[in-house]
Amino acid sequence: MVDRRAFLGAMGAASAALALPTPAAAFTPRAFRQLGTALGAAGGRSAETLATDEDFWLPIQQAFDVDRTVTNLNNGGVCPTPTHVLEAMVRDLRFSNELPVEHMWRVLEPRVESAREACAREFGCDPEELAITRNASEANEILILGLDLTRGDEVIVSTQNYGRMLTTWEQRARREGIVVKRVQFAVPPASPQAIVDRFAEAITPRTRVIEVPHITNLTGQILPIRELGALARARNIALLVDGAHAFAHFPFTRDELQCDFYGTSLHKWLLAPIGTGFLYVRREKIPSVWPLMAAPETMNADIRKFEEIGTHPAANHNAIPLAMAFHRGIGAERKVARLRYLRNRWAKRVVTESGGRICVLTPLDTPDAGAIALVQIDGVKSDALSAWLRAKHAIVTVSIDIPGEFHGVRVTPNVYTTVDEVDRFADRLLAAARRGIA
C-alpha cells in the first residue's frame, strides 16, 4: 500500500514523466489534494477497515465531477475519469490543436513511452512487451486476428466471453474455416476447478487456442487464469486472456497469471481517459503475432508494431500516468476491498430481506469476484427491471441475457459511488420484489 509521503513522491514522478509543455500546465499538488487528504487519514489501518470508513472515501469521491442526479451502477462499461486526469487530457488536446504536426507528433506522441512504462510496472512485465492500444477490443482483436491458424484448427471459448471477441472468432471461422467451440460453465460455478474441467473436456488434438475473460463482463466471475494457463501450456495451446474488466479492478501481476497474451481497457477500472488500453505479448511471442494494421518487416520483433494505427490523439494515452498515480495512491488492496464492500452492502441485504425472491448469481464470500454482480428477481424480467430502474428512479444498470443459461441485471459501483446510492438501489430492488414494477 502507498502512504501519503510515497504518494506525493509518485505525483512528482508522474509530473516529470509528462514533461509538461507550458508553464500554465505545471503540476500542482492541488490536483491530488482529495486523495492526499484521504491518505493522510488512513494511518496504518487495514484495507478491510478502511473499506467501511466513509471519511476516507469522501475525498476520493470528490475527485470526480459526476452527475449525482443519476445513480450510475454501470461502471462495468466505461468509467468517468478523475477531474484532474480529464483536465490533463484536455490541456494536451488544446496544445495539439495549436500546431498538430509539431505539438502532437513531435512533442506529445513520444511521451507514450511514459504510459508504456507506467502500465508495465503495474502489470509486472518489461515495457518492451506492452503496446498501448485504444481499448481491450482492439488489443484482443490484434491477438485473435494475428495468430496463424489453418482450416480445421480449433479454438475454445466460453459462452461468457465478451460478445465482440466471439464475433471476431466467428468471422475467422466463416472466412478461414477454423472451428470455434463454445463451452458453458455454471453460474455461479461449483468451484474454480469446475471451470478448468469444462475447458479440459473440450480439448482435442486440433485445439490451437483457448480464449477466456479474466473476469466475465456478465456476472463478474473471476476465472482461474493460472490453472487454465497450465492446462494450455501442457498441450502447447495458446491462451489469450481478455482482461477488459480486470486490470486495476483487483490486484494481480503477469507472473501470478503465467500468461503469454493479455489485453485490457484502461478507461474502466484504472479510470484513465476514454480510448485507452494495452496489449501484453511475452517477448518471445511478439514475432509470431501479426499486427492488426500492417507494420514494416523491420518491426517484426518490436511491440510497437501493434501501435501502427495511423493518426490518433496523443492526449488520451498521455494522461494514463496520472490515472495510474491516482490508482496507486488509493492502493489496489484498498480499492478492491471498498468495491466488494459496496457490492456486498446491497447484495447481501436484498438476498436476506427479500424472502428468497431476489437471487444474486455472483459469489459474495470468496475472492472470485469484485465489484460486478448479477441480480435477478423471481418473476420479473431483467430487461424490464433495468428499464424501470432507469426511467422511474434514475438508476443506471444493464440487463444481461444469455439465452438458455441465465439472465439478470448487472450492477457495478465504483470508488466514487456512495453508500447512499447503493442503499437507494437496494431499496428499489426490494420494492420491486414486493410490489412489482407495473
Nearest to 274 by CA among 414, 413, 75: 75
- pLDDT reported for residue 34: 63
The edge-to-edge listing of strands for the beta sheet with 406-411 is: 358-360, 373-377, 406-411, 398-402
- Estimate to the nearest angstrom the gap between the alpha carbon of 427 and the chain centroid: 28
Task: Say how far apart CA 250 and CA 241 lie, in whole Å.
Answer: 15
- pLDDT reported for residue 33: 66
- List the grid coordinates of 38: 484521504
As a 3-state breakdown, the chain gives helix, strand, coil percent values, each rounded to 5, of 50, 15, 35
**Which residue type is seen at 135?**
N
Helix (H, G, I), strand (E, B) or coil at 210: strand
- Estimate to the nearest angstrom the gap between the alpha carbon of 282 and the chain centroid: 20
What Å distances lie between residue 239 and 157, 209, 233, 318, CA to CA? 10, 6, 8, 30
- List the grid coordinates of 175: 472466412
10-residue mean pLDDT profile of the chain (438 residues): values are 50 45 39 65 87 96 95 95 97 98 97 98 98 98 98 98 98 98 96 97 98 98 98 97 98 95 98 98 98 97 98 97 97 98 98 97 96 97 98 98 96 98 98 94
- Estimate to the nearest angstrom the gap between the alpha carbon of 211 and the chain centroid: 17
- pLDDT reported for residue 65: 94
Tell me how far apart the terminal alpha carbons of the chain are, to the nearest angstrom: 48
Residues 6+ apart with CB under 8 A from 377: 354, 357, 358, 359, 385, 429, 432, 433
| Exposure class string for 139-175: b at 16+ Cβ within 10 A, else e | bbbbbbbbbebeeebbbbbbbbbbebbbebbeebeee
Task: Say how far apart CA 310 and CA 109 lie, in whole Å.
Answer: 12
Domain residue extents for the chain: 111-323, 334-435
- pLDDT reported for residue 222: 98
- pLDDT reported for residue 32: 59
- List the grid coordinates of 286: 511478439
Note the CATH number of domain 334-435: 3.90.1150.10
Note the CATH number of domain 111-323: 3.40.640.10
- List the grid coordinates of 46: 487495514
List the beta bridge partners of residue 209.
155, 238
pTM, full prediction: 0.91
Task: Say how far apart CA 192 and CA 350 lie, in whole Å.
Answer: 26
- pLDDT reported for residue 44: 84
What Å distances lie between residue 375 and 148, 382, 401, 410, CA to CA? 40, 9, 12, 7
- pLDDT reported for residue 24: 34
Task: Say how far apart CA 145 and CA 165 lie, in whole Å.
Answer: 10
